[in-house]
């Protein structure tokens, strides 16, 4: 149980309060979630007992600056979906979180900070070359964000990118944990392939991207290359063999769709 709550008056104060055993709390869907505490216990980590409440400090605003879109880290996933400024593919990624209750609470910053391997949103953000601004640091890419550092994310930046970004997930049922989450963006200049649920964090498959870019990988060869490249573990959502197969199949399918410039029908 949380025993001590700090309520800083500013971002700066929040950063000063930070220590290894104190965590930022915004929406609460990760920190206050019983599973999170259970996982910590399972991994031999101490229970979270001290938090810094930042829910009122973080912006929820979405604004365009030049060609970039700046999103306040305090925006909830539902607010992200409801905003007319949010790119469609990001709305769709947030919508994969099946529970409206959770979407009303969980913040975009919190979702990135949690850095879950099965995140629906991280593959999409990575494919969109998204960056985050850390409270007392410079901006870093979402792809290189390290949740162990427990930074306070204040803003998310979506730069203008080319091509078509498409996403998909493999699920047993609408409320289940995903077996695989995936995002692909293909343009004339670059290709990004990001994959969740196959490692301890969302990964980017750069060698695969090169193969797609130079045309050496497509269709079945692409699917096979992906399956060979990843090393998932079996878990409740599926066996390692299934995850390999479905990752390959999904990426090959999404690449074909994005090359056609079409939004995937689900």
According to DSSP, the residues that pair with 193 across neighbouring strands are 184
Give the angle 74-76-77 at the CA atoms, nearest 5°. Answer: 135
Given the complex with another protein, which of 134 and 256 has the nearer CB atom?
A: 256
Residues facing residue 184 across a β-bridge: 166, 193
Is residue 218 a contact residue for another protein (CB under 8 A)?
A: no
Q: Residue 238 has what DSSP assignment?
A: B
| Distances 97 to 12, 90, 121, 179, 207 between C-alpha atoms, Å | 31, 12, 9, 14, 29
Smallest distance, another protein to C-beta of residue 249, A: 6
Q: For residues 12 and 82, which CB has a smaller minimum distance to another protein in the complex?
A: 82
Count of residues engaged in binding another protein, rule: CB under 8 A: 45
Distance of CA 200 to the CA centre of its chain: 13
| Cβ closest to another protein, residue 69 vs residue 182 | 182
Contacts of 42 (CB under 8 A, 6+ apart): none
Round to whole Å and give the CA distance between 68 and 62.
Answer: 11
CB of 2 to another protein, least distance (A): 3
Binding mask 231-260 for another protein (x = CB under 8 A): -----x-xx-xx--xx--xx--x-------
Binding marks (x or -) toward another protein, 115..154, rule CB under 8 A? ----------------------------------------
| CA dist 176 → 238, 239, 242 (Å) | 11, 15, 16
Select 161 or 166, whichever has its Cβ closest to another protein.
166
The pair of structure tokens assigned to 27 is 């929406």
How far apart CA 51 and CA 150 sit, in angstroms, is 12
Q: Are strands 4-6 and 50-53 parallel, antiparallel or unpaired?
A: parallel
The nearest distance, CB 89 to another protein, in angstroms, is: 18
Q: Is 87 exposed, middle or buried (0-12, 13-18, 19+ CB in 10 A)?
A: middle
Give the footprint of another protein on residues 3-42 (CB under 8 A). Answer: 3-5, 7, 25, 27-29, 32-35
Tell me which of 45, 100, 206, 231 binds another protein, using CB under 8 A.
100
Which residue, 187 or 218, has its beta carbon nearer to another protein?
A: 218
Binding mask 153-192 for another protein (x = CB under 8 A): -----------------x-xxxxxx-x-------------
Tell the smallest beta-carbon distance from residue 142 to another protein (Å).
24
Q: Strand 153-158's sheet: what is its strand order?
A: 62-65, 68-72, 153-158, 131-134, 139-141
Q: Where does this chain bind another protein (CB under 8 A)? A: 1-5, 7, 25, 27-29, 32-35, 49, 51, 53, 55, 78, 98-102, 104-105, 170, 172-177, 179, 236, 238-239, 241-242, 245-246, 249-250, 253, 265
């Amino acid at each position: 149980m949380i025993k001590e709550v700090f309520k800083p008056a500013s971002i700066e104060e929040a950063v000063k309060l930070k220590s290894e055993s104190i965590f930022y709390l915004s929406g609460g869907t990760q920190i206050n979630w019983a599973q999170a505490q259970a996982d910590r216990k399972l991994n031999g980590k101490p229970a979270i007992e001290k938090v810094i409440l930042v829910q009122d400090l973080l912006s929820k605003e979405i604004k365009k600056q030049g060609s970039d879109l700046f999103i306040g880290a305090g925006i909830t996933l539902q607010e992200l979906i409801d905003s007319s400024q949010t790119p469609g593919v990001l709305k769709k990624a947030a919508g994969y979180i099946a529970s409206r209750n959770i979407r009303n609470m969980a913040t975009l910053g919190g979702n990135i900070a949690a850095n879950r391997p099965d995140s629906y949103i991280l593959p999409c953000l990575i494919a969109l070359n998204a960056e985050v601004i850390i409270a007392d640091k410079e901006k870093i890419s979402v792809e290189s964000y390290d949740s162990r550092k427990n930074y306070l994310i204040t803003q998310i930046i979506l730069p203008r990118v080319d091509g078509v970004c498409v996403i998909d997930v493999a699920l047993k049922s609408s409320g289940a944990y995903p077996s695989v989450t995936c995002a692909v963006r293909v343009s004339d200049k670059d290709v990004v392939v990001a994959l969740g649920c196959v490692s301890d964090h969302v990964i980017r498959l750069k060698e695969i991207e090169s193969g797609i870019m130079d045309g050496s990988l497509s269709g079945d060869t692409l699917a096979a290359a992906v399956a060979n490249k990843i090393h998932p573990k079996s878990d409740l959502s599926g066996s390692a063999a299934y995850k390999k197969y479905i990752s390959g199949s999904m990426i090959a399918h999404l690449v074909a769709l994005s090359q056609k410039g079409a939004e995937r029908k689900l």
